[in-house]
Amino acid sequence: MMDIRDIREREAEFQTAADGKGIAISIRELLETDDRRRSLAAEAEALRERRNRLSREIGGMAGGDRSDMQRLKQEVRTEKAKLEHIENELQTVLHRYRYLMDRVPNLVSPDTPAGASDADNVTLSMVGIPTQFDFTPRDHVELGELHRLFDLERGVKVAGTRSYFLKGDGLRLHRAVQQLALDLLEDRGFTAMDVPLMVRTKAMRDTGFFPTGQDQAYRIEGEDAWLVGTSEVPLIAYYSDEILDPAEPIRAAGVSTCFRSEVGSAGRDVRGLYRVHQFAKVEQIVICRGEAEESEALLQEITRNAENLLDLLELPYRKVAVCIGDMSQKNYKQYDLETWMPGRDAYGETHSSSNVGDFQARRAGLRYRGEDGKLRYCHTLNNTAAATPRLLIPLIENHQRADGSIYLPPALRPYMGGREMLEVPAGRAGLFHADI
């Protein structure tokens, strides 16, 4: 959690961050609660000291005046009752203090745009132009059915809404994109890691996904275990409560299946593979020294890694600066990459890069020794290098041909048996939109 001293010194900034991120918390109430916590703690300590002193006096009165001993014993009982009352009140205040502290957001960078939602994000750059077709293009659902890449109907039958089966070349594309991303990152010094899909509540809280994002996670009933929505959680928790040596930034690439409940998104992006409950990601995380210039440079680096993947996939995309109203509690600065999706006739988010500053490090206990030997908190960063099956949407939609075949960029071909195209399966080449 954030340092209460910083919160006290920058009360207005923290309140602005909370309001901007839509987090219902009064920083003034937090500070008043902290004042009461300190006052009660001091009062309790004074009562304990007086009780202990009286007990010592009683212990030294063996054989002394009985009435004086009874008087002191009565004083001890009175002090004990007062102490119990103060300690009970202190526990109530502590509970409220921790509740509020858990909801204090990270501050945002000076260049974070103002705004209330993703509609207010600011485009910083564009690569390529939206794909133009001289035929009526199919969307990814039609292409998927034409090529038998996935089965949505049976996915819903087996697992409920927003579920799917990947099949044949759909599965091969899914794995090819992941492996391409992983190979790219390993070439750039990232250590590949397969991570646990279930983590304890502490890991979710330490990484800033709880409490404000708890409604997005799936809990394992009867256990202290949650399904992760990103390998960022186990990768940061992997280093928790350790003193690290980030003289060279720690770079890890997590590979995992991910789960998200999508509470509050009913009716949004329900067609096809855009918003599903289960997906796979290759995630970049970086842990570095707590230096603002260093973490900013690393934010640019991990964002470029994701952009390079989209370049290899030959997809048009844009980079946007995420506004405060579209940021989570933990993020200090965030970029999104949005890839052109012809079936939506719009850009759709496929990647996200975040500089979290020391927010996670404080919660998870990630520290290092500075040049003066003193312990300092690290900075942490993360980026979605590849999230599938969502990334398959622009991949197959942008690269479709008039005959229904799908072009494979050269970077993918080694993972797809050397094929240059996904040809329409035999017996399906004559199908039109209405037949699919």
Rounded CA separation 357/235 (Å): 16
142, 362, 390, 405: the active-site residue? 390
Catalytic annotation, pick one of 349, 363, 397, 405: 349
Indicate if 43 belongs to the active site: no
What is the rounded CA–CA span in Å between residue 137 and residue 403? 10
- Contact partners, residue 335, CB within 8 Å, separation at least 6: 124, 299, 303, 319, 320, 321, 322, 352, 353
CA nearest neighbour of 238 among 207, 278, 211 = 207
- Give me the catalytic one of 138, 172, 260, 289: 260
Active site residue 352: yes
Clarify whether 314 is annotated catalytic: no
AA letter at 362: R
* Known catalytic residue at 117: no
Q: Determine the Cα–Cα distance for residues 400 and 409; give it in Å rounded to an integer.
A: 12
Which is the catalytic residue, given 352, 353, 354, 405? 352
To the query of whether residue 349 is one of the catalytic residues in this protein, the response is: yes
Residue reference for tokens 């945002």: 108
**CA pair distance 226, 205, nearest whole angstrom:** 11
Q: How many residues does the chain have?
A: 436
Burial of 280 (0-12, 13-18, 19+ CB in 10 A): buried
Residue 344 and residue 350: Cα distance in Å, rounded? 14
Given the residues 96, 275, 344, 401, the one annotated as active site: 275
Residues with a catalytic annotation lie at 260, 275, 349, 352, 390
